[in-house]
């Protein structure tokens, strides 16, 4: 371990794969160049339907058999877990997080497999997370992979409860010209984006793992809400950069148009989240989803309209977990 990072603790990086072996292997390669030596990687496959298992395991074997002649110290402990099902974002990541805790990790970095990371990303995030004993979760600056001049989010999202709407902090800004510290301080970080979320093991023992009720979306705001309610702080390492191929990890890569899958889970889980954490304001979430359903129907967005109506119904009846659309 390099002297600069002694005593900061062991980090287990959890990568969740589903039919995305190319992205996962590229992410692993970028992790191997980290300027932080005390880390390992846990890859969880959500029962991919392609040849991800063979491809990823072959890549891991190749990495682990390569001599340590790279310029940066390399920690080559890579664990592969086959989930045996596609239980969703939280359930898959939880398998990796639990394995990390079982092996004694001090921190867990939940990282989307459709990301590639700057060489200092992990070291900067760890330093930020460990600066205050009350800080439990740390986000990074997410930058669009295909447009390095545009930020996706500085850490995560500011969510406006009375409007049932969130805004990614700093979206669209240039990471090299914007004052990212000022951007972060001017907004309330409601939740950290799950594409890059570093969490202390102490928080995991106190708060627990991610809720598996959602299947997709709203896991992070649920997790962060529980953490904040127990007195933990959320922060952003504004010098930690992660490049995100937005939406690729679930096959919905589009910045301008939601897929039916995204539309359904975002709409249904909005209602579920409100009923759990803000029951008095649940009508706000229901109205938002109902309005979206009507507007999509009127504008003849037939498929999106149908899944939104279904999401509204399922949200009202309390249906959780995975559905077949």
pLDDT, residue 67, reads 60
User: What secondary structure does DSSP assign to 129-192, as a single string?
Assistant: HTT-TTEEEEEEEEEETT-TTSEEEESEEEEEGGGTEEEETTTT--TTTS-HHHHHHTS---EE
Q: Which of 204, 230, 249 is the last residue of a domain?
A: 249
What are the backbone angles phi and psi of residue 272, rounded to the nearest 5°? -60, -45
Domain span at residue 311 reads 260-317
Question: In this structure, are 41 and 163 located in the same domain?
Answer: yes
In a domain, residue 324? The reply is no
pLDDT at 133: 97
Residues 231 and 268 in one domain: no
Are residues 142 and 286 both part of a single domain? Answer: no
140 in the same domain as 58: yes
pLDDT at 37: 84
CB 203 within 8 A of CB 235: no
For residue 254, tell me if it sits in a domain: no
Other Cβ atoms closer than 10 A to 75: 19
125 & 168 share domain: yes
Residue 322, domain member (yes or no) = no
Say yes or no: 157 and 273 in one domain: no
Q: Would you say residue 107 lies in a domain?
A: yes
Secondary structure element (H or E) that encloses residue 90, with its range: helix 89-102
Please calculate the CA angle 289-295-296 and round it to the nearest 5 degrees.
Answer: 90
Q: What pLDDT is attached to residue 77? A: 87
Residue 3 has what pLDDT? Answer: 38
Please identify, among 210, 226, 249, the residue that sits at the C-terminal boundary of a domain: 249
Same domain, 27 and 101: yes
Residue ranges, the chain, pLDDT below 70:
1-7, 67-76, 247-256
The pLDDT, as a whole number, for residue 1 is: 32
Asked if residue 59 and residue 123 are part of one domain, the reply reads yes
Residue 44 lies in a domain: yes
**CATH code, domain carrying 238:** 3.90.550.60
Residue 308 burial by CB count (10 A; 0-12/13-18/19+): exposed, middle or buried?
Answer: buried
Same domain for 216 and 86? yes
158 with 220, same domain: the answer is: yes
Check: CB of residue 34 under 8 Å from CB of residue 62: no
**Residue 105 within any structural domain of the chain:** yes
The number of beta carbons lying within 10 Å of the beta carbon of residue 230 is: 10
> Taking the CA atoms of the chain, what radius of gyration do you get in angstroms?
19
Name the domain count of the chain: 2
- φ, ψ of residue 298 to 5 degrees: the values are -65, -35
């Amino acid at each position: 371990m390099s002297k600069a990072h002694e005593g900061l603790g062991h980090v287990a990086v959890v990568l969740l794969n589903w039919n995305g072996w190319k992205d996962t292997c590229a992410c692993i390669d970028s992790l191997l160049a980290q300027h932080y030596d005390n880390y390992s990687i846990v890859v969880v496959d959500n029962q991919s339907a392609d040849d991800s298992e063979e491809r990823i395991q072959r890549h891991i074997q190749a990495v682990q058999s390569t001599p340590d002649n790279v310029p940066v110290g390399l920690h080559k402990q890579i664990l592969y877990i086959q989930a045996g099902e596609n239980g969703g974002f939280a359930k898959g990541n939880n398998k990796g997080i639990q394995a990390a805790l079982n092996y004694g990790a001090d921190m867990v970095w939940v990282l989307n497999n459709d990301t590639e990371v700057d060489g200092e990303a992990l070291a900067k995030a760890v330093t930020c997370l460990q600066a205050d004993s009350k800080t439990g979760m740390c986000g990074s600056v997410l930058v669009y992979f295909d447009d390095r001049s545009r930020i996706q989010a500085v850490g995560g999202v500011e969510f406006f409860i009375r409007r049932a709407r969130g805004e990614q902090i700093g979206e669209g800004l240039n990471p090299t010209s914007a004052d990212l510290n000022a951007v972060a301080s001017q907004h309330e970080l409601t939740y950290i984006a799950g594409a890059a979320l570093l969490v202390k093991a102490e928080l995991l023992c106190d708060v627990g793992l991610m809720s598996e009720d959602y299947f997709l979306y709203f896991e992070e705001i649920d997790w962060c809400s529980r953490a904040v309610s127990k007195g933990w702080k959320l922060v952003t390492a504004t010098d930690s950069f992660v490049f995100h191929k937005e939406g690729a990890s679930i096959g919905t890569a589009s910045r301008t148009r939601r897929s039916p899958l995204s539309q359904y889970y975002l709409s249904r889980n909005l209602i579920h989240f409100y009923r759990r954490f803000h029951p008095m304001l649940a009508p706000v979430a229901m109205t938002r989803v109902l309005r979206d359903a009507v507007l999509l129907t009127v504008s003849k967005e037939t498929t999106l309209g149908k899944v939104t109506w279904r999401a509204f119904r399922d949200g009202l009846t309390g249906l959780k977990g995975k559905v077949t659309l």
